[in-house]
Amino acid sequence: LMECGCERSYSAECGIASVAGARDEISGDTAAFFESGGGYFYAIISDGMGSGTEAKEISAFVTEFMTKALEFCSEGSTVLKILNHAVKHRHRECSATFDMFSLDLYRGDAEFIKSGAAPSYVKRDSSIFRIKSKTAPLGLMKNVDAERIRVDLEGEDYIIMLSDGIAQSAEDTPWLLDLLSKPPKRNIKEYADHILATALKNMSKNDDMTVVVIKVSRKKD
């Protein structure tokens, strides 16, 4: 009798830091990370339309819907079409940005799916790669407007995902590129906290701010 199995070649650590905008005590951003039973790692940020409780309700709905759906289906684009329909046909007009990073922990295939989301960054030593998309948030259009962007990762890469309260473009945040070019904090949560603290010093706190940092590691042969 011979038994065969697959061993994961990659692992992912994640840290989240978030703060509400100046006008509200409740952030309209929702962020989450999890692993599916199929061996995928996911990280999600959603920013709800409006502010406070109303924005939080829709961003939490988007994040929870995707989290539950991806436990059974690894095809994010298909689930997103269903989610867009659900958001558009809620009892009141609403919308939410959607930003998701996924990683196949066995093969290392990685991609972003962005719908109205802020740019993300891949940090490899002192090199920085920006991932951006010009798309509309969920719920604004009949057909989902999302872009799927595949990325090639190496061991010890960092993924930095941000809500649009921090970064709309690299030109608006020169401090961010300077920070990311420096060595990261060893603790992932501390690194996310450090990026958020620096954003609070350099940006006006008028919008909700969320930072998700992911460290991707590859097992040595």
Single-letter amino acid, residue 141:
M
Say what percent of the chain tops pLDDT 70. 91
In sequence order, the β-bridge partners of residue 158 are 123, 215
Question: In the 8-state DSSP scheme, what is residue 48?
Answer: B
Long-range contacts (CB closer than 8 Å, 24 or more residues apart) made by 52-56:
52/23, 52/24, 52/25, 52/26, 52/28, 53/26, 54/28, 54/94, 55/28, 55/29, 55/208, 56/26, 56/27, 56/28, 56/30
Residue 40 makes CB contacts below 8 A (sequence gap 6+) with 70, 74, 102, 103, 104, 105
The length of the chain is 221
Single-letter amino acid, residue 167:
A
- Decide if pLDDT at 2 tops 80: no
Q: Which of 47, 55, 3, 70 is nearest to 210 (CA)?
A: 47
Instruction: Determine contact, residues 15/23, Cβ cutoff 8 Å.
Output: no
Mean pLDDT of 131-158: 90
Mean pLDDT of 92-105: 90
Q: Which of 154-158, 162-166, 172-176, 204-208 has the lowest mean pLDDT?
A: 204-208
Coil/strand/helix, residue 126: coil
By the 10 Å C-beta count (0-12 exposed, 13-18 middle, 19+ buried), 77 is classed as exposed
Mean pLDDT of 112-128: 94
Supply the mean pLDDT for the chain. 88
Task: Give the span between the Cα atoms of 214 and 100, in whole angstroms.
Answer: 12
Instruction: Determine contact, residues 32/19, Cβ cutoff 8 Å.
Output: no
Mean pLDDT of 190-215: 91
The pLDDT score that the predictor gives to residue 71 is 79
Dihedral sign computed on CA atoms, order 117, 159, 195, 43? positive
Q: Tell me, yes or no, if the pTM score tops 0.85.
A: yes
**Angle subtended by helix axes 76-88 and 52-70, to nearest 10:** 140
Cα dihedral 210/181/12/149 (nearest 10): 80
- Decide if pLDDT at 153 tops 80: yes
Question: Which residue is it, tokens 């109205």?
Answer: 116
